[in-house]
Amino acid sequence: MAAELADVFEDAQRRMQKAVEALKQDLAAIRTGRASAALVERITVDYYGTPTPLNQVASISVPEARLLVIQPWDKKLLTDIEKAIQKSDLGINPNNDGTVIRLTIPPMTQERRRDLVKTLHKKLDEHKVAVRNVRRDVQDKLRDREKKKEVSEDELKRSTERLQKLTDRHIDEMDKVGKTKETEILEV
């Protein structure tokens, strides 16, 4: 019986960790006062009819704290990349010199910082819901097993407590990631 429950908990651990990793990726795309390749990596460019992430068609470098340089491997993509950046919600105008695209990251206003913190909290809540959904799914599986007499009532209670601790640990990790990003955004 304990081995069967171990599989359930391993699955829950894996799914909750995926939610934490997805949160980290989402937050990396939120602009702070500093340049970061993660800001533009997920922007898709039309590459011969196929929407392709920018980091798969160009090299992205950060030569200075407020500058991103995008160098496409195929020079024909320069205008497509430029258009994709303009369509994105970055709010940064690309500078195309014929060989590379430069993005100068402007300093953020207090109002923009507050908006980004709101966006951060919204994303954080969405990902916490994902972790709670995993908890709910596992709780349902545990209750089903108890109904089928595969798990005793005491084992169900212990498993539920263990599941709650696992959930709390992942929610705490998400809160720490969110707090770090919030500090980064509010840093002047």
Alpha carbon separation from 1 to 35, 152, 161 (Å, rounded): 52, 10, 17
Q: CB within 8 A of 180, min separation 6: which ones?
A: none
pLDDT band at 132 (very low <50, low <70, confident <90, very high): very high
| Residue 102 bridge partners (DSSP) | 69, 95
pLDDT of residue 150: 86
CB burial readout 73-82, b (16+ within 10 A) else e: eeeebbebbb
The region of weakest confidence among 92-101, 121-130, 170-179 is 92-101
Q: 38-104: which CATH number, 3.30.1330.10, 3.30.1360.40, 3.40.50.2300, 3.40.1130.10?
A: 3.30.1360.40
With a cut of 90, say whether residue 91 has pLDDT above it.
no
- Backbone region of residue 91 per phi and psi (left: phi > 0; alpha: psi in -120 to 50; beta: other values): left
**Could you tell me which CATH number the domain at 2-28+109-186 has?**
1.10.132.20
**By C-alpha distance, which of 52, 45, 53 is closest to 77?**
45
Q: Where are the domains of the chain?
A: 2-28+109-186, 38-104
Contact 170, 19 (CB under 8 A): yes
Which residue type occupies 103?
L
Q: What is the pLDDT of residues 17-57, one digit of tens each?
A: 999 999 988 888 776 667 778 888 878 998 888 899 988 89
pLDDT of residue 105: 82
pLDDT of residue 27: 84
pLDDT of residue 130: 95
Mean pLDDT value across residues 94-122: 87
| pLDDT > 90 in the chain, percent | 38
